[in-house]
Chains A and B, each alone.
Chain A
Amino acid sequence: MKLLRGVYEGPQSYGILRVAASIRGVHTLLRALPGETYFRTLYGARERTGEMVPVTLSPLREEPDDSMAPGNLTRDLSSVIRRHPKAEIVILAHSEASLLSEESIPTTLPEVEGTGRVPRLVTFPWEQPGMRETEAAELALEDLIRARINDRLERSPYPTVNVFGPPIFGPGAAAEYAEAERLLDMIGVEVNVRVPLGANTKDLERLTRAWANVLLYREIGESATLYLQDEFGIPRVTTPMIGAAGTGAVLRSVGELCQLDPKSVQRTIWAELASTAKLPWYARLEPPETFQDRRVAIFGDFTYPLGLGYALSREVGLEIVTCGTYLTHLERDFLFHAHTFTEGAFVEDDPDQVAARIEAAKPDLVVGTHLEEGVADSLGIPFLPLCPPVSDTPFVGRPLMGYAGSSILADELDHILQGKESNQQETRIQWTTEALQEAAAVPLFLRGRARRLAEEDARSQGSAEVTREIFLESR
Chain B
Amino acid sequence: MTILNESGIPDVLPPLHAVNDLAQRLPDVLIVVAGTQAEAHLIQCLTSAPSPNLPPFRRNQRVIFAVLDPDDPPQQGLLASRIVESAAGLRGTSLVLLVAGRAAQSLGVDTALEARLVARKLDLPAEVVNPDAPREVPGILSTDLEDNVLAALVNLCPKRKTSDLVETASPAKRSRLIGSLLRRGTETSDSNGGRPVVLLGGALSSGGARVLAAELFRAGVGVAGSVPGSGIGELPPLGEGTVVAVMDPNLTSAATAAERRGATVVKTLMPIGVDGTARFVQDVAEEAGTRTSEVVRARSAWEDLGVLKNRIRGKRIFFTGDTGIEIPLARFLANAGAVVLEVGAPRLDRRFLAGELQALGPDVDIVVSPDYRGQTNRIDESRPDVVISSPGLHLPLVARGHLCRSPRDFLEAGLYGYGGARRILELLVRTMERAETLDSLNL
Query: Which of A's residues lie within 8 Å of B, judged by CB?
Result: 1-7, 9-11, 13-14, 33-38, 40-42, 44-46, 48-52, 56-57, 59, 61-62, 67-70, 83, 95-97, 100-101, 128-130, 132-133, 370-371, 373-374, 391, 393, 441-443, 445-446, 475
The A-B contact count (CB < 8 A) is 187
Chain A nearest CB from B46 CB (Å) reads: 6
The docked-state distance in angstroms from the alpha carbon of A367 to that of B395 is 32
B17 beta carbon closer than 8 Å to chain A: yes
User: In the bound complex, how far is the Cα of B392 from the Cα of A38, in angstroms?
Assistant: 8
Contact pick for B91, options A5, A46, A62, A475, CB 8 Å: A475
Taken together as a complex, chains A and B put the C-alpha atoms of A13 and B39 apart, in Å, by 12
Given contacts A6-B44, A36-B42, contact A69 B369 (CB under 8 A): yes
Contact of A35 among B15, B41, B45, B50 (CB under 8 A): B15
Going nearest first, the 8 A-B pairs with the smallest beta carbon separation are A50-B399, A391-B57, A44-B395, A129-B70, A100-B106, A10-B41, A40-B392, A69-B7
Q: At the interface with chain A, which of B71-79, B217-225, B254-262, B271-279?
A: B71-79
Contact A130 B53 (CB under 8 A): no
Q: Across the interface, do A45 and B391 meet the contact criterion of CB distance under 8 Å?
A: yes
- CB proximity of A34 to chain B, nearest CB, Å: 5
Q: Is the CB of B44 within 8 A of A7?
A: yes
A95 touches B15 (CB 8 A): no
Interface pair B57/A100, CB less than 8 Å apart: no
With A1-B82, A50-B395, A445-B59: A38-B14 Cβ-Cβ less than 8 Å: yes
Given A56-B9, A62-B134, A370-B57, A1:B46 Cβ within 8 A:
no
Across-interface contacts of A128 in B (CB, < 8 A) = 70
Q: Which residues of B contact A442 (CB under 8 A)?
A: 89
B91 to chain A, nearest CB (A): 7
Q: List 8 A-B contacts (CB under 8 A).
A: A6-B59, A33-B102, A35-B14, A44-B394, A49-B399, A128-B70, A130-B70, A391-B54
Q: Is B40 in the interface zone, CB < 8 Å from A?
A: yes
Determine whether the beta carbon of A5 is less than 8 Å from that of B7. Answer: no
A443 to B41, CA, bound (A): 20
**Residue of B whose beta carbon sits closest to that of A169:** B45
For residue A202, give the distance in angstroms from its CB to the closest CB of chain B.
25
- Chain B residues with Cβ below 8 Å from A96 are 36-38, 70, 103
The answer to whether B36 touches A83 (Cβ under 8 A) is no
- Taking CB atoms, residues of chain B closer than 8 Å to A393 are 53-54
Check B399–A4 contact: CB distance below 8 A: no
Q: Which residue of B lies closest to A46 (CB)?
A: B54
In angstroms, Cα B70 to Cα A46, docked, is 30
How close is A15's CB to chain B, nearest CB, in angstroms?
11
A69 and B5 CA atoms in complex are apart in Å by 10
Pair B86/A3 contact, Cβ less than 8 Å? yes
Can you add 20 more A-B contacts, CB < 8 Å, to A7-B67, A40-B11?
A1-B67, A1-B79, A2-B67, A11-B38, A14-B38, A33-B132, A34-B12, A35-B12, A38-B13, A42-B54, A45-B53, A49-B395, A51-B399, A57-B9, A68-B7, A97-B38, A129-B36, A130-B36, A374-B59, A443-B89
Q: Which of B67, B86, B398 has the most CB of A within 10 A?
A: B67
State whether B396 touches A44 (Cβ < 8 A): yes
Question: Of B38, B88, B373, which one neighbours A36 at CB under 8 angstroms?
Answer: B38
Bound Cα distance from A355 to B115, whole angstroms: 29
Question: Any chain A CB within 8 A of the CB of B407?
Answer: no
Contact A1 B69 (CB under 8 A): yes
The residues of A that contact B134 with a CB separation of less than 8 Å are: 62
Would you call B45 and A5 a contact (CB within 8 A)? no
Complex CA distance for A101 and B103, rounded to whole angstroms = 9
Residues of the B chain whose Cβ atoms lie less than 8 Å from the Cβ of A373: 57
0 or 1 for each of B380-397: is its CB under 8 Å from A? (1 = yes): 000000000001101110
| Best-buried of A1, A36, A62 by chain B (most CB within 10 Å) | A1
Residues of A within 8 A of B392 (CB): 37, 40-41, 44
The chain B residue sitting closest to A132, CB to CB, is B37
Please, which residues of chain B bring their CB within 8 A of the CB of A10? Answer: 37-38, 41, 45
**Is there an interface contact between A5 and B59, defined as CB atoms closer than 8 Å?**
yes
Contact among A52, A57, A133 with B396 in the assembled complex (CB-CB below 8 Å): A52
The residue of chain B having its C-beta at the shortest distance from the C-beta of A48 within the complex is B395
A191 to B369, CA, bound (A): 46
Residue of B nearest to A68 (CB): B7
A residues near B64, Cβ cutoff 8 Å: 3-5
Q: How far is the CA of A34 from the CA of B56 in the complex (A)?
A: 26
B68 at the interface (CB under 8 A from A): yes
Residues of A within 8 A of B180 (CB): none
Q: Is the CB of A36 within 8 A of B391?
A: no
CA distance A128 to B38 in the complex (A): 12
The answer, yes or no, to whether B16 is at the interface (CB within 8 Å) is yes
Question: How far, in Å, is B384 (CB) from chain A's closest CB?
Answer: 18
**Distance in angstroms between the alpha carbons of A198 and B144 in the assembled complex:** 37
Give bound CA distance, A163 to B299, whole Å: 68
B234 to chain A, nearest CB (A): 21
B419 contacts the other chain (Cβ, under 8 Å)? no
Decide if A3 touches B66 in the complex (CB within 8 Å). Answer: yes
Whether the Cβ atoms of B45 and A42 lie closer than 8 Å is: yes
Check A3 against B65 for contact (C-beta < 8 Å).
yes
Q: Determine the distance from Cα of A14 to Cα of B45 in the docked complex, in whole angstroms.
A: 11
B140 interface contact, C-beta 8 A = yes
> Is B41 a contact partner of A1 (Cβ separation < 8 A)?
no
B112-146 residues with Cβ-Cβ distance < 8 A to A are 131-132, 134, 138-140, 144
Task: Determine the chain B residues whose CB is within 8 A of the CB of A67 once the complex forms.
Answer: 7
- Docked Cα-Cα span, A443 to B15, in Å, equals 27
B27 at the interface (CB under 8 A from A): no
- When C-beta atoms are compared, the residue in chain A nearest to B82 turns out to be A3
Which residues of A are found within 8 Å of B398, using beta-carbon distances? 50
A303 to chain B, nearest CB (A): 21
Chain B contacts of A37 at CB under 8 A? 11-12, 14, 392
Knowing A35-B15, A35-B140, A48-B395, say if A41 contacts B46 (CB, 8 Å).
yes
C-alpha gap A100/B45 in the complex (Å): 22
Tell me, rounded to whole Å, the shortest Cβ–Cβ distance linking A432 to chain B: 18
Indicate if B228 sits at the interface (CB-CB under 8 A): no
Query: Does B414 have its Cβ within 8 Å of any Cβ on chain A?
Result: no
**Of residues 1 to 48 in B, which have CB atoms within 8 Å of A's CB atoms?**
7-9, 11-17, 32, 36-38, 40-42, 44-46
List of A residues within 8 angstroms of B37 by Cβ:
7, 9-11, 96, 130, 132
Chain B residues within an 8 Å CB radius of A129: 36, 70, 103
Which of A35, A133, A370, A446 lies in contact with B132, CB distance below 8 A? A35
Distance to closest chain B CB from A340 (angstroms): 31
Q: Which residue of A lies closest to B109 (CB)?
A: A1
B52 CB contact (under 8 Å) in A9, A34, A45, A57? A45
A127 to B: closest C-beta gap in Å = 12
Known A69-B369, A97-B106, A128-B70: A45·B38 in contact at CB below 8 Å: no
> Which residues of chain B from 324 to 377 have any CB-CB distance to chain A below 8 Å in the complex?
369, 373, 376
A83, B13: Cα distance in complex, Å? 23
Q: How far is the CA of A12 from the CA of B40 in the complex (A)?
A: 13
Q: Are A5 and B396 in contact (CB under 8 A)?
A: no
B107 interface hit (Cβ, 8 Å): yes
Give the nearest-CB partner of A37 in chain B.
B14
B40 touches A70 (CB 8 A): no
- The docked-state distance in angstroms from the alpha carbon of A456 to that of B89 is 22
Q: Are B101 and A97 in contact (CB under 8 A)?
A: yes
User: Would you give the shortest CB distance from B93 to chain A, in whole angstroms?
Assistant: 12
CB proximity of A12 to chain B, nearest CB, Å: 8
Contact partner, A7, options B32, B40, B90, B394, Cβ 8 Å:
B40
B437 close to chain A: CB less than 8 A:
no
| Nearest-CB residue, chain A, relative to B107 | A100
Which residues of A are found within 8 Å of B40, using beta-carbon distances? 4, 6-7
Expressed in whole angstroms, the Cα–Cα distance for A100 and B105 within the complex equals 10
Q: How far is the CA of A40 from the CA of B74 in the complex (A)?
A: 32
Q: Would you call B440 an interface residue if the criterion is a C-beta within 8 Å of the partner chain's C-beta atoms? A: no
Residues of B within 8 Å of A69, CB to CB, are 7-8, 369
Residue B163 interfacial (CB < 8 Å): no
Kindly report which residue of chain B lies nearest to residue A44, judged by CB atoms: B395
Known A-B contacts A9-B41, A442-B89; the reply to A100 vs B70 at CB < 8 A is: yes
Q: Kindly state whether residue B63 has any CB partner on chain A within 8 Å.
A: yes
